[in-house]
């Protein structure tokens, strides 16, 4: 029972971010603080084990969210206290009178019984924390542990647990921490879904999806500079027409010389080695389409809204979403223990492109109001014309009924593309099928919410429709059970 509570609360947590050593500047210093044969025996039994697990994982345990440690101890303990108090009060069992202090916590619950349940649950949770720390070390540092079996043996876990923290690459740990915070802010749906991906695949997916360098640009000129620098970065990583790929040292020097400190870890930790270059370059082209929403003067008015028809809409969705879907899928192929034939991989990549269209259409449908506030309209202009609307009219009044009708039309397109690719996901290896389906279904649930309600749903975050957390958890549970 205690283990289940711990696992449920800790599953969403990426434990890598809580690894630390004495060189970690972000670690805050913290301080932790004759009678009675029965109580003495309980303490003699429990305290050495607690001390041992604390010695291995004390700083890691302190760094974890409080609820991930306190609740798995407190909830079962209180439950067992209540049950034990009932049993003692009814005489179901009793403690021999000569071995106890005779103090009661409340009612018939004696101090020794209360201490026993509290310490037992603490032992369980401390042991699980040590286990999670060992797994975090294994998954975080591939240079120290190149090959990790699907079920790591106890000997390997012991090696990871006993590894000197001075050998940790804290630059990598700090970069993963930043990526987790970015992803939690950027996409709560994917952050929740990421919790069910296994081991190193989860870390690489977080590092890939959390990258929002262009989103951090405040002006068009800033964004153009970012795109130029990112293109040069990709040229260094993959090589250009006349230049072979650069060494890791050269790439690192380029990043340090051209990007601010806040952006360096996102690039140096980006898992480019197992990934093709084409989707990255296409993604930058998608960012350029975003920037083609021009100013308001008469010369720029004609090219201010680049999504003129369905072909432009599909091209944009391919560049900004299908590319990310393909990259995620390539990471799945790289990390999976089951290697698929090349023809099946090709079918899955095509399905990922189609699903990318669906997810981006949902994203556009959700963000009509938010986009209008910054002078952008991603609904095709020919659709607007059919409704006697203009992009400027949508910007002026994005809540009007005609816009809502186009939102529903776009959602129809989204679910059509979703239907074309959803069944193909069943070809994925079982170990990643459930997590990827959860990631997709959590996002498509936004579309279902928009279909259920007219206008912008009352449940919003920064003007964007959101799915209640309980509903997202239910979607995850339902799809994992069926995968």
Phi, psi of 294 (to 5 degrees): -85, -165
Residues spanned by CATH 1.10.600.10 within the chain? 175-211+270-482
Alpha-carbon gap, residue 414 to 314, rounded angstroms: 11
Reference 133, options 29, 58, 66; nearest CA is 58
CATH of region 175-211+270-482, choose from 1.10.600.10, 3.30.390.50, 3.90.190.20, 3.40.47.10:
1.10.600.10
Work out the average pLDDT over 206-222: 69
DSSP 339: P
Give the tens place of pLDDT for each residue, 242-287: 788 888 889 989 999 888 887 888 888 888 989 999 999 999 999 8
Q: What are phi and psi of 106, to 5 degrees?
A: -165, 150
More confident residue, 221 or 174: 174
Q: Write the DSSP assignment of 34-70 as a string of letters.
A: ---HHHHHHHHHHHHHHHHHHHHHHHHHHHS-HHHHH
Q: Could you tell me which of 224, 231, 186 has the C-alpha nearest to residue 208?
A: 186
Among residues 159, 155, 202, 157, which one has the least CA distance to residue 183? Answer: 202
What is the per-residue pLDDT across 69-128, written as a single tens digit (0 to 9) for each? 999 999 999 998 888 888 877 777 766 666 566 677 776 777 778 888 898 999 999 999
| Range with the poorest average pLDDT among 52-56, 436-440, 458-462 | 458-462
Helix (H, G, I), strand (E, B) or coil at 460: strand
Q: Which residue has the higher pLDDT, 359 or 294?
A: 359
Residues 6+ apart with CB under 8 A from 253: none
Distances (CA, A) of 62 to 29, 118, 136, 179: 10, 18, 15, 21
Q: In DSSP terms, which residues pair with 106 in a beta bridge?
A: 109
Q: Is the pLDDT of residue 363 over 60?
A: yes
Cβ neighbors of 447 (< 8 A, separation 6 or more) are 362, 365, 366, 411, 414, 415
Rounded to an integer, the average pLDDT of 323-329 is 93
Q: In this predicted structure, what is the pLDDT of residue 390?
A: 92
171 half-sphere exposure, CB direction, 13 A CA radius? 11
Give every CB contact of residue 376 below 8 A, 6+ residues apart in sequence: 290, 293, 305
Amino acid 406: pLDDT? 95
| Bridging pattern class, strands 460-461 and 109-110 | unpaired
For the chain, the straight-line distance linking the first and the last C-alpha, in angstroms and rounded, comes to: 25
State the pLDDT confidence band at 297, using cuts at 50, 70 and 90: very low
pLDDT at 333: 92
- Residues whose CB falls within 8 Å of the CB of residue 342, separated by 6 or more in sequence, listed in order: none
Q: In angstroms, rounded to a whole number, what is the distance separating the alpha carbons of residues 402 and 399?
A: 8
CB atoms within 10 A of CB 335: 21
Q: Kindly report the average pLDDT of the chain as a whole number.
A: 84
- Quick one: CA dihedral 217, 220, 223, 229, positive or negative? negative
User: How are beta strands 460-461 and 464-465 bridged, if at all?
Assistant: antiparallel
Answer with the residue of higher pLDDT: 160 or 188. 160
For the segment 324-344, the average pLDDT, to the nearest whole number, is 91
> Residue 109: what are its φ and ψ, rounded to 5°?
-80, 110
Alpha-carbon gap, residue 52 to 275, rounded angstroms: 42
pTM of this structure: 0.79
Model pLDDT, residue 415: 96
C-beta separation of 47 from 126 below 8 A: no
Confidence band for 296, pLDDT divided at 50, 70 and 90: very low
- For 201, residues 6+ apart whose C-beta sits below 8 A from its C-beta are 331, 332, 335, 336, 432
Q: Which of 140, 272, 126 is nearest to 202 (CA)?
A: 140
Q: Cα(371)–Cα(117) distance, rounded to whole angstroms? A: 55
**pLDDT value at position 301?**
44
Orientation angle between helical segments 342-366 and 401-422, nearest 10 degrees: 170
Tell me what the mean pLDDT of segment 303-315 comes to. Answer: 88
């Amino acid at each position: 029972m205690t283990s289940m509570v711990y696992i449920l609360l800790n599953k969403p947590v990426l434990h890598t971010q809580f690894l630390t050593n004495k060189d970690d500047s972000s670690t805050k210093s913290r301080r932790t603080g004759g009678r009675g044969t029965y109580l003495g025996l309980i303490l003699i039994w429990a305290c050495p084990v607690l001390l041992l697990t604390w010695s291995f994982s004390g700083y890691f345990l302190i760094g974890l969210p409080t609820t991930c440690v306190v609740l798995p101890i407190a909830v079962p303990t209180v439950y067992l206290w209540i049950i034990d108090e009932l049993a003692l009060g009814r005489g179901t069992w009793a403690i021999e009178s000569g071995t106890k202090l005779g103090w009661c916590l409340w009612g018939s619950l004696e101090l020794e019984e209360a201490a026993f349940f509290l310490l037992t649950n603490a032992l369980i949770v401390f042991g699980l924390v040590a286990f999670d720390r060992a797994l975090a070390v294994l998954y975080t540092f591939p240079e120290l542990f190149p090959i990790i079996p699907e079920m790591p043996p106890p000997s390997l876990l012991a090696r990871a647990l006993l590894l000197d923290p001075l050998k940790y690459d804290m630059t990598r740990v700090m970069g993963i921490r930043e990526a987790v915070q970015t992803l939690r802010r950027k996409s709560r749906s994917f952050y929740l879904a990421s919790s069910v991906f296994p081991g190193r695949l989860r870390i690489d997916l977080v590092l890939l999806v959390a990258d929002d360098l262009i989103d951090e640009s405040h002006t068009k000129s800033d964004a153009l500079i970012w795109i130029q620098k990112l293109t040069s970065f990709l040229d260094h990583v993959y090589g250009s027409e006349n230049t072979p790929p650069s060494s890791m040292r050269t790439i690192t020097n380029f990043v340090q010389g051209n990007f601010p400190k806040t952006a360096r870890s996102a690039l140096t930790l980006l898992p480019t080695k197992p990934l093709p270059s084409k989707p990255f370059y296409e993604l930058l082209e998608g960012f350029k389409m975003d920037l083609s929403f021009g100013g308001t003067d008469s010369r720029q008015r004609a090219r201010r809204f680049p999504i003129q028809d369905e072909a432009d809409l599909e091209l944009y969705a391919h560049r900004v979403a299908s590319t990310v879907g393909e990259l995620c899928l390539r990471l799945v192929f790289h990390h999976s223990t089951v290697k698929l034939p090349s023809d099946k991989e090709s079918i899955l990549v095509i399905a990922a492109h189609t699903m990318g269209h669906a997810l981006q259409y949902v994203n556009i449908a959700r963000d009509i109001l938010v986009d209008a506030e910054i002078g952008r309209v991603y609904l095709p202009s020919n659709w607007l014309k059919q409704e006697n609307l203009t992009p400027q009219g949508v910007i002026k009044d994005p809540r009007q009924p005609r816009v809502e009708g186009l939102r529903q039309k776009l959602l129809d397109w989204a679910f059509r593309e979703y239907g074309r690719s959803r069944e193909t996901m069943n070809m994925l290896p079982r170990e990643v099928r459930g997590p990827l389906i959860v990631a997709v279904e959590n996002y498509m649930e936004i579309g279902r919410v928009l279909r259920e309600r007219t206008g912008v749903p009352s449940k919003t975050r920064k003007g964007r429709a959101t799915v209640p957390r309980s509903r997202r958890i239910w979607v995850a549970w339902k799809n994992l059970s069926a995968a």
